[in-house]
């Protein structure tokens, strides 16, 4: 599947500066941080320390204020808040902790982004079918999302991101509030994304993710990314 090999060999993400202010509070103050391909980069930290804000800045979803700053290199190019092209939003996908799913079907949700990009129908259907198989969703492709479990919804969100062929994925708390079986299923999908050579950065409180072989864990404290003790 093309969407599952494109990430291989891409340059790392180099965050040269990421600053976010809320009034007098400096929520983020990150500089000189590199995230390589083929690694699960895990960011932990208390709620409200800025993990989601960092993801939204990198994904171009955060509206910059006057004193905010963003400067990063990705895929050989330099980007800032002021110079963030629309095309970059196709390269960096943000997956929310509580992903919004349309009240249609699993298959329609997975293919939504491809439809918006006007991918031909037969090609789109092939990509959706392979993503359904990848995410272990065979048998529920025509089910309405409101009937899915929390783990199934999370796997739909990951499959929807997969088909978009993005070399970088920013994933917010993918195993939160899941039972053991669902958590293991999501862990396997995250490991698959890592093995395909994508840049995968995950905000999490889950010790099981941090214990995965080769996981690279950071802690966001006082706006800085530091190695946990």
pLDDT at 75: 85
pLDDT at 163: 94
Q: Quick check: pTM over 0.85?
A: yes
Of residues 108, 98, 165, the one with CA closest to residue 141: 108
Q: How do the pLDDT tens digits run along the chain, 229 residues long?
A: 444 444 434 568 999 999 999 888 889 999 989 999 989 999 999 999 999 999 999 999 988 787 889 999 998 899 998 889 999 999 999 999 888 999 999 999 999 999 999 999 999 999 999 999 999 999 999 999 999 999 999 999 999 999 998 899 999 999 998 999 999 999 999 999 989 889 999 999 999 999 988 799 999 999 999 987 6
Beta bridge partners of 77: 74
Please provide the CATH number assigned to the domain covering 2-226.
3.40.50.300
Q: Where are the domains of the chain?
A: 2-226
If one counts every other C-beta atom within 10 angstroms of the C-beta of residue 202, the result is 27
Cα 115 versus chain centre, distance: 20
- What does the block give as tokens for 54? 């960092």
Cα 111 versus chain centre, distance: 17
Of residues 143, 157, 140, the one with CA closest to residue 193: 157
Q: Give 54-73 as a 3 state SS string.
A: HHHHHCCCCCCCCCCEEEEE
pLDDT at 3: 40
pLDDT at 138: 95
What does the alpha-carbon distance between residue 181 and residue 94 come to, in Å, rounded to a whole number? 24
Write the CB contacts of 133 (distance below 8 Å, at least 6 apart in sequence): none
Residue with tokens 């093309």: 2
């Amino acid at each position: 599947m093309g969407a599952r090999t494109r990430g291989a060999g891409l340059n790392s993400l180099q965050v040269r500066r990421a600053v976010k202010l809320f009034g007098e509070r400096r929520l983020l103050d990150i500089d000189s941080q590199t995230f390589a391909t083929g690694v699960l980069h895990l960011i932990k930290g208390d709620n409200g320390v800025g993990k989601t804000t960092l993801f939204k800045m990198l994904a171009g979803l955060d509206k910059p204020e006057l004193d905010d700053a963003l400067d990063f290199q990705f895929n050989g190019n330099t980007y800032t808040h002021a110079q963030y092209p629309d095309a970059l939003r196709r390269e960096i996908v943000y997956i929310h902790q509580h992903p919004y799913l349309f009240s249609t079907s699993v298959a329609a949700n997975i293919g939504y982004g491809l439809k918006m990009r006007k991918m031909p129908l037969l090609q789109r259907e092939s990509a959706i079918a392979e993503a359904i198989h990848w995410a272990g969703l065979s048998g529920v492709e025509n089910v309405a999302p409101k009937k899915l479990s929390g783990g199934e919804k999370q796997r739909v969100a990951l499959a929807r991101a997969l088909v978009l062929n993005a070399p970088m994925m920013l994933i917010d708390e993918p195993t939160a509030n899941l039972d053991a079986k669902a958590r293991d299923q999501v862990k396997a999908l995250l490991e698959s994304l890592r093995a395909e050579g994508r840049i995968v950065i995950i905000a999490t409180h889950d010790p099981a993710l941090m214990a995965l072989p080769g996981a690279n864990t950071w802690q966001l404290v006082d706006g800085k990314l530091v190695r946990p003790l």
